Amino acid sequence: MPRLSLPFVWLDTLWIQVSGTLCNIACRHCLVSAGPKVDRHRMLSADEVVKLLDDCEGVREIWLTGGEPFLNPEILAILDACLERAAVGVLTNGMRIDEPMARALGARFREAAHNLEIRVSLDGPDAAANDAIRGRGAFLAAMGGISRLVTEGVEPIVAVTGLEPEKKVEEFHKMLRLMGVSRPRVKWIPPFKVGREVARGGGYAPFEGLNSAQVEEPEAPHRLQCGTSRTVTSQGVFPCPILIDEPSFLLGARVSETLVPHPVDHPACSTCWETGFSCSR
């Protein structure tokens, strides 16, 4: 039986897993189960990123992710190559942004040809809530990174995973204003029941998933982010950053050969559909 698949519209957003699954911490809800010794997906070099960008003509927006992107020793060269071509965002836990890195990011924020956005992940507006998920000391270290960014004129977005976000938004705004952020922005991420989150909150039920009527709706390729995006890892190209550990979602070796309909029959696809979630916007 053919798999449920989604038409591809155009390549709007490219995700690059620049640090592979290597991270300095091991969050309890990590979608890709990243951690200090996790190298299922390896880091990408600046040369590899330049080559893959040459294969992504017309892309509007690039997001660098991992693991923790600032563990990649070539992150600034990678950033420069990406910023020449499109707007760039970096998803980080903020803990590795020391003063020299904050200065380097501030210079690119002011001078690069395209916009640079830094998104710092937090799981609570205080150490108790955040460190229960991210590990002891993670909150203070992230606050240090945010503070150094703000000093350099870079106001990061804070990304928070969880349910009922509206109950906490004012707490995050207050915390960010205290840090000197003049325009607090918080992006909420619904909990996807994959990766390490399965051990914490349980996996998907067998009945969860999309059906053919949903996928055939004309707006489906716009409602689901993978209708306009691809994710590159050291193992190849996947439809999205959520499913990089699902071999049956490996679409090919080069981005240009994967801009065709792709499967959307993973239960996690139902979370995208119900929430209208996009990892980038």
Token pair, residue 201, equals 């909150």
Name the E strands within 85-212: 87-92, 116-122, 157-161, 186-189
Give the DSSP letter of residue 156: P
Which residue lies nearer to ligand SF4 by CB, 3 or 110? 3
Q: Helices (H) and strands (E) in the chain — how many of each?
A: 10, 10
Which residue lies nearer to ligand SF4 by CB, 91 or 224? 224
Q: Which helix (H) or strand (E) holds 216?
A: helix 212-216
Rounded least distance, CB 8 to ligand SF4, Å: 11
Q: Cα(55)–Cα(52) distance, rounded to whole angstroms?
A: 5
Which residue lies nearer to ligand SF4 by CB, 83 or 242? 242
Rounded least distance, CB 199 to ligand SF4, Å: 19
Q: Cα(127)–Cα(139) distance, rounded to whole angstroms?
A: 5
Give the residues lining the site for ligand SF4 (CB under 6 A): 224-226, 239-240, 242-243, 264, 266, 268-269, 272
Which residue lies nearer to ligand SF4 by CB, 159 or 242? 242
Strand partners, 87: 61
Which residue lies nearer to ligand SF4 by CB, 24 or 225? 225
Q: At what angle do helices 138-151 and 99-111 cross, to 10 degrees?
A: 40
Q: Cα(281)–Cα(278) distance, rounded to whole angstroms?
A: 6
Rounded least distance, CB 207 to ligand SF4, Å: 16
Contact 259, 44 (CB under 8 A): no
Token pair, residue 204, equals 């998907």
Rounded least distance, CB 256 to ligand SF4, Å: 19
Q: At what angle do helices 99-111 and 75-83 cross, to 10 degrees?
A: 10
Q: Cα(59)–Cα(87) distance, rounded to whole angstroms?
A: 9
Rounded least distance, CB 31 to ligand SF4, Å: 10
Which residue lies nearer to ligand SF4 by CB, 16 or 243? 243
Which residue lies nearer to ligand SF4 by CB, 183 or 206? 206
Rounded least distance, CB 133 to ligand SF4, Å: 21
Rounded least distance, CB 192 to ligand SF4, Å: 7
